[in-house]
Amino acid sequence: MKGRVVIPIHDEGGRLVGYAGRSLDGSEPRYKFPGGFGKSQVLFNFHRAAATNCETVVVVEGFFDCLKVYQAGYENVVALMGTDLYEQPARLLGERFAAGVALLLDGDAAGRAGRGRAVARLRGACAVREWELPEGRQPDQLPEGQLRELIGCGRSWSQLESLRG
């Protein structure tokens, strides 16, 4: 992990289950995970989001998107660690946040495709809202004020519908 920022990853119970090393110099691969780590089984920050009093959750793609949304005042945020929402993480979201999952994936082709797959996977398990970011943009690139406006700045789930992009 030399030359990388190391990000700890916990399971839904808060137990450390892995880590990701993010390249600082742009070298590939951009992210490294330990051999055998199954990122398809966990959501980054789920244990913290589940510990909030929130009935809804914001879902983003990456670690830094998650950190930026959290910094904007939303503790109820998780990251997919990619564009795919797998079966186990979808089950966790549906069980804990049945009142609502807000998808805020990147504004690129991969983010749009991932959002469509996530909506299909969550169908019937919980209420789903989705926002489309401008082409090429991602949550960690947006100013905090714009994130708060987009997500709803404390509005109830029903009021969030009016902010849908």
Instruction: Residue 133: give its domain's CATH number.
Output: 3.40.1360.10
Let me know: does 101 contact 127? Beta carbons within 8 Å: yes
What's the average model confidence in pLDDT over 132-150? 89
Residue numbers of the domain that contains 100: 39-155
Q: Per-residue pLDDT for 108 more than 80?
A: yes
Q: Per-residue pLDDT for 75 more than 60?
A: yes
What's the average model confidence in pLDDT over 105-128? 94
What is the number of domains present in the chain?
1
pLDDT at 134: 86
Taking the C-alpha atoms of residue 24 and residue 67, their distance in angstroms, rounded to an integer, is 17
Q: Is residue 18 part of a domain?
A: no
pLDDT at 154: 46
Amino acid letter for position 28: E
Confidence of residue 161 (pLDDT cuts 50, 70, 90): very low
Q: Is residue 144 part of a domain?
A: yes
> Bridge-partner residues for 56, per DSSP?
100
Confidence of residue 159 (pLDDT cuts 50, 70, 90): very low
Task: Give the CA dihedral 32, 38, 44, 49, nearest 10 degrees.
Answer: -170
Cα Rg for the chain, rounded, in angstroms?
A: 15
Q: Is residue 25 part of a domain?
A: no
Amino acid letter for position 133: L
Confidence of residue 54 (pLDDT cuts 50, 70, 90): confident
Taking the C-alpha atoms of residue 87 and residue 27, their distance in angstroms, rounded to an integer, is 31
